[in-house]
Amino acid sequence: MTHPLIKQWLNLKQKTHHCLCIGLDPDINTLPNGYEKNLEGLTHFLKDIIDASILECIAYKPNISFFEAYGIKGLLVLESIVKHIDNHIPIIIDGKRGDIGNTSAMQARYLFDYFNADAITLHPYMGFDSLEPFFNYKDKFHFVLGLTSNPGSKDFEELPLANGKTLAATVIETISHWNQTNHNIGIVVGATENKLKQARDIDRDLVFLIPGVGKQGGSYENAYTHGKNNQGLALINVSRAITGAINNKKTVKVDTKDAIQAILNQL
Amino acid sequence: MTHPLIKQWLNLKQKTHHCLCIGLDPDINTLPNGYEKNLEGLTHFLKDIIDASILECIAYKPNISFFEAYGIKGLLVLESIVKHIDNHIPIIIDGKRGDIGNTSAMQARYLFDYFNADAITLHPYMGFDSLEPFFNYKDKFHFVLGLTSNPGSKDFEELPLANGKTLAATVIETISHWNQTNHNIGIVVGATENKLKQARDIDRDLVFLIPGVGKQGGSYENAYTHGKNNQGLALINVSRAITGAINNKKTVKVDTKDAIQAILNQL
């Protein structure tokens, strides 16, 4: 069984010839010239980026925390951005949720029913019943944190367990098992060769959402080579290497396309 | 060094003679008679509960996910509730956040600067640099998930590590170490005797936020006896056993006080 979102991503990959997910982590302070330094300017900027890239990516990943940082008015911007994105491009709302079951059910309502996200990101710590209310949204897709590439991944994720494996490896194996039910779960894996290989060795079919490409140091080529699954799919997220490459409002179309090409030319 | 919020909680404990934290997990569908079944009714209900309990608790813990479930209008209710709570009672916004550093900094802005929370809850999975932006808010307090009592705590938290301890024990030891810097970190521990004892054996000073009392099965007495720290402090959260005990709008004051007494009489 192939999940409808996996089919959609594979179709988009066939059209665009790559697996680029564009991260939207907006910051008023770094808006290019020509945009007012306020939430209206931010909204225009994000819509311009989307218009310039809609045929060149397979997903958008708005990071809800960057909108929340502006309070409720920031969330209104997210709402308007999500509505602006064409229906044929899946939206991953990155919010790293997860809590006891009755609370997780509320989080799912917010992200899936209210914001209409196609996919989200989750924390594994509290185990299966903390994530089941999300997984029960069968038509949606759920990326659980697996193995990240931040320095703190050493603190817990890379600890060796009594079973001889690391915590992250065991988390990924467990997710791989959970995924047999609805086939609607993937994992988040950091964009280093070593981490991607470790995760890929555990399950060749799981879809990886891969942050950390671009300004965070990872290359698109590396991420694709080591992160793609058996179907040739991965969601390789690039945020600031695209949104930070715009010189001003007048050149946003060309600058967006150039930034995307610069990332992809790594492949 | 005693953190200003710990001083405040100890003062409130001296006045109220207990360690009750009231959880606000609102649900329009379960509003008592006399309240309109909409967000306005919900706001009135929560304000009535607060007015009836303000002298009888040491903290309020609004669960942000229950407000988010109603979308942006629900978050406006949270904003108005937070403003309604008297300044001398600390507010713990329960949102289980945590991400890579630059995102965590945005989450901290939302919860501390925008909503003016005094304390929050966090996920440990991604390690120290994912939580440092929160901890850097020195005057605020940070409860990191330690050992929970939901069934899924078996999936990862209770796994044995190569060091002979469980993951949760190692997480708690690590948090105990992190807490030496700013003394502004506590942990979330589920309200069962066994879990509380395990956690308390690791650090006798850490402040525990203890959910799971009341409708979720734990008793206040158990939670206090096994969860209190060396200073006699714990934050024992009760949500639905109070908010679910109101018969109607006319009796909300008496019903709130009766529900609180019923919980405390367990001690």
**Which chain B residue is nearest to residue A69, measuring alpha carbons?**
B110
pLDDT of B41 > 80? The answer is yes
Find tokens 């001690």 and name the residue: B267
Is A109 in CB contact (< 8 Å) with chain B? yes
Stretch A138-162: mean pLDDT: 98
B-contacting residues in A 207-226 (Cβ below 8 Å):
211
User: Is residue A230 within 8 Å of A179, Cβ to Cβ?
Assistant: no
Q: Which positions ≥6 away from A101 have C-beta within 8 Å?
A: A129, A130, A132, A133, B150
Stretch A12-22: mean pLDDT: 97
What is the pLDDT of chain B when averaged over all its residues? Answer: 96
Stretch A193-222: mean pLDDT: 92
A210: alpha, beta or left? (left if phi > 0; alpha if psi -120 to 50):
beta
**Which chain B residue is nearest to residue A159, measuring alpha carbons?**
B161
Determine the pLDDT at residue A1. 79
A96, A165, A215, A253: the active-site residue: A96
**DSSP-based three-state secondary structure for B90:** coil
Prediction pTM value = 0.98
N-terminal to C-terminal alpha carbon distance within chain A: 30
Determine the pLDDT at residue B70. 98
Determine the pLDDT at residue A149. 95
A204 beta partners: none
Give the burial class of A136: count Cβ atoms within 10 A of its Cβ; 0-12 exposed, 13-18 middle, 19 or more buried.
middle
pLDDT of A267 > 60? The answer is no
Determine the pLDDT at residue A226. 97
Q: What percent of chain B has pLDDT over 70?
A: 99
Cβ distance of B106 and A65 shorter than 8 Å: yes
What is the pLDDT of chain A when averaged over all its residues? Answer: 96
Element (H, E) at B33: none
pLDDT of B162 > 90? The answer is yes
Is B148 in CB contact (< 8 Å) with chain A? yes
Q: Which positions ≥6 away from B177 have C-beta within 8 Å?
A: none
Residues B72-82: pLDDT tens digits? 999 999 999 99
Domains and CATH numbers, chain B: 4-264 (3.20.20.70)
Q: Read off the tokens for B190.
A: 């589920």
pLDDT of A41 > 90? The answer is yes
pLDDT of B254 > 90? The answer is yes
CA A22 to each of CA A11, A57, A265, B22, B79: distance values in angstroms, whole numbers, following the listed order: 17, 7, 16, 41, 32
pLDDT of B217 > 90? The answer is no
User: Is residue B60 within 8 Å of B22, Cβ to Cβ?
Assistant: yes
Contacts of A127 in chain B (CB under 8 A): 150-157
CA distance A214 to A220: 8
Element (H, E) at A43: helix A39-53
> In degrees rounded to 5, what are phi and psi of residue A143?
-100, 110
**DSSP-based three-state secondary structure for A195:** helix
Per-residue pLDDT band at A218 (split at 50, 70, 90): confident
B253 has catalytic annotation: no
Residues A122-132: pLDDT tens digits? 999 999 999 99
pLDDT of A265 > 90? The answer is no
Compute the nearest-CA separation of A54 from chain B (Å).
25
Element (H, E) at A143: strand A141-147
Contacts of B214 in chain A (CB under 8 A): none
**More confident: B267 or A37:** A37
Is A177 in CB contact (< 8 Å) with chain B? no
Cβ distance of B125 and A124 shorter than 8 Å: yes
Question: Half-sphere exposure of residue A60, counting CA atoms within 13 Å on the CB side?
Answer: 28
- ipTM value, please give it: 0.97
Q: Of B170, B136, B186, B138, give the one whose Cα is nearest residue B9.
A: B186
A-contacting residues in B 42-71 (Cβ below 8 Å):
63, 65-66, 68-71
For residue B223, the tally of other CB atoms under 10 A from its CB is 30
User: Is residue B131 within 8 Å of B124, Cβ to Cβ?
Assistant: yes
Stretch B72-95: mean pLDDT: 97
| Beta carbon pairs, A and B, within 8 Å | 177
Residues A236-259: pLDDT tens digits? 999 999 999 999 999 999 999 999
CA distance B221 to B227: 10
CA A121 to each of CA A8, A100, A105, A118, B149: distance values in angstroms, whole numbers, following the listed order: 19, 16, 14, 11, 23
